[in-house]
Structure 1
Amino acid sequence: MSFMEGILKQNKPVWDKCIATTFVQEMKEGKLPIEDFKEYMVQDSIYLKNYARVYGKAIYHAETLREIQLYYSILSFVTDTESAIRLNYLRQFGMTDDDIEFIAPLPENQNYIDFLFETAKRGNGCEILMAVLPCMLSYSYIFRKLAEEPESLKSRYWDFISDYADDRYADSCKEWCDFADKKCGSLSEAEQKKLESIFERAGYLELDFWNMAYQRKKA
């Protein structure tokens, strides 16, 4: 079993918890209130801006041209493909990215952003990779699972679900996993354990993000 195969096996239960959240289940069923989805899109826009900044740090510490190209491919997805989905919804809400600049992150979002920047500050390429990959990989896993459910096809959010369930996105995720194996797979057991804990921490921060809207309702 490769390094990343082990990490994915260890973390899929966390991603299954993400799928089981009320937010994701209501999205699948098309029952998610549009105001909750709007808040998610706004907070996700704030997150993605900061997520993209972390890649600047990763590129700075890259050791090879191939590594720079791979980071750039992920960054391109965030700033181009994913932004197209986001911006379309923001337009429906009468908003633009400029409006987002004046909105503060909710606590769960801020915790995730802080974690990313704390990891990036250390400047270790493998650690940065483990902090940023769970966002990309979990979305592919979660939304491909949702796309298998007949209810999703009837959901008002099907366009959002199907974009992340795309085969090309899954292929890119495999490429990023292969790269992580090559970059981090030969490290010592102690170093790999540390990377596993970073990846796991990011996964639980993803779970907090999905629960974010319902934490507000409980308060």
Structure 2
Amino acid sequence: MNHQDLINACRKDWDAYTKHAFIQQLAKGTLAQPCFLHYLKQDFLFLKQYARAYALAIYKARTLADMRKALPSVDALLDVEISYHVNYCADWGLTESDLEAEDEDFGTVAYTRYVLDAGMQGDIVDLYAALAPCSIGYAEIGRNLCNDKNTNREDNPFAGWIALYGSDEFQQSVAQGTEHIDALLADIDLNSSRGRELIRVFRTATRMEIAFWQQGLDAVEPVPRPLSLAL
């Protein structure tokens, strides 16, 4: 089996993730700013836990080769992706202190702790099955948005986000990581009990991605209610 088998096994959830209303509004440039700011803050907190999960991959690895393959992801997250995220957030008026002071939303806690728990309870393949929807999904989303003629590129405040995840650099990085995942999955029968378990892990993580988008979409500033003049 390979990563595409995992995607095909949970196609409905995968499409709900990669074509979520949050993404559609972002592509049009109509996403409400409070929703995007909430997402940016939660994504910072998510990336910190994501780095911990890749560090766990080194711990769970049984071979030196697998340990070495996990290390670039930890380094890239800590030195490149999180740094880029902090700089990008600064353009939206958010400082690193603001990001660090933010409380984790329920969806962020559920998602990140699920990934870590999957890795702690299972082996390195379980961990990568839980990690895969994020990187592979963002690459697909970025690629689709960049190739879609309906994506607003002229006056879209989120154009930088789209450009990042659609960039050749990001696409190539994810492709390299996906090759490693496919190598780990290669000897596993899709229809075996082990294959079905990995599908379950991948599907659950994909559903967590849906919830992560949704919590951003739900973060709309409440409309002030008029004061009652009744005595």
Provide TM-score, normalisation by structure 2. 0.84
Output aligned runs, 1:72-87, within 5 Å. Answer: 72-87=71-86
Aligned equivalent of 2:5:
6
Identity %: 23
Report the secondary structure of 1:152's partner residue.
coil
Name the CA distance, whole Å, in 2 between partners of 1:70 and 1:181: 13
Aligned equivalent of 1:124:
123
Report the secondary structure of 2:153's partner residue.
helix
Aligned equivalent of 2:196:
193
Q: Quick one: structure 1 residues 194 and 172, their matched pair in 2 at CA, closer, same or farther if it must change by over 3 Å? A: same
Report the secondary structure of 1:153's partner residue.
coil
What CA deviation, in whole Å up to 9, does each residue of 1:17-57 have, x standing for no partner?
23432221111011112222111000000111111111121
What CA deviation, in whole Å up to 9, does each residue of 1:56-112 have, x standing for no partner?
211011122321222122223322332243112321243333332322111111110
Structure of higher CA gyration radius: 2
Number of aligned residue pairs: give it: 218
2:185 counterpart letter in structure 1 = C
Q: Quick one: structure 1 residues 16 and 81, their matched pair in 2 at CA, closer, same or farther if it must change by over 3 Å? A: farther
- Higher relative helix content: 1
Structure 1, unmatched stretches of 5+, are none
Q: Quick one: structure 1 residues 12 and 177, their matched pair in 2 at CA, closer, same or farther if it must change by over 3 Å? A: farther
* 1:206 corresponds to 2:209: yes
Name the CA distance, whole Å, in 1 between partners of 2:193 and 2:117: 20
CA-atom RMSD, angstroms? Answer: 2.2
Output aligned runs, 1:5-154, within 5 Å. Answer: 5-150=4-149, 151-154=151-154
Q: CA deviation at 1:217?
A: 4.8
Aligned equivalent of 2:229:
none
Aligned equivalent of 1:161:
162
Greater mean alpha carbon deviation, residues 73-82 or residues 24-33: 73-82
Q: Quick one: structure 1 residues 88 and 58, their matched pair in 2 at CA, closer, same or farther if it must change by over 3 Å? A: same
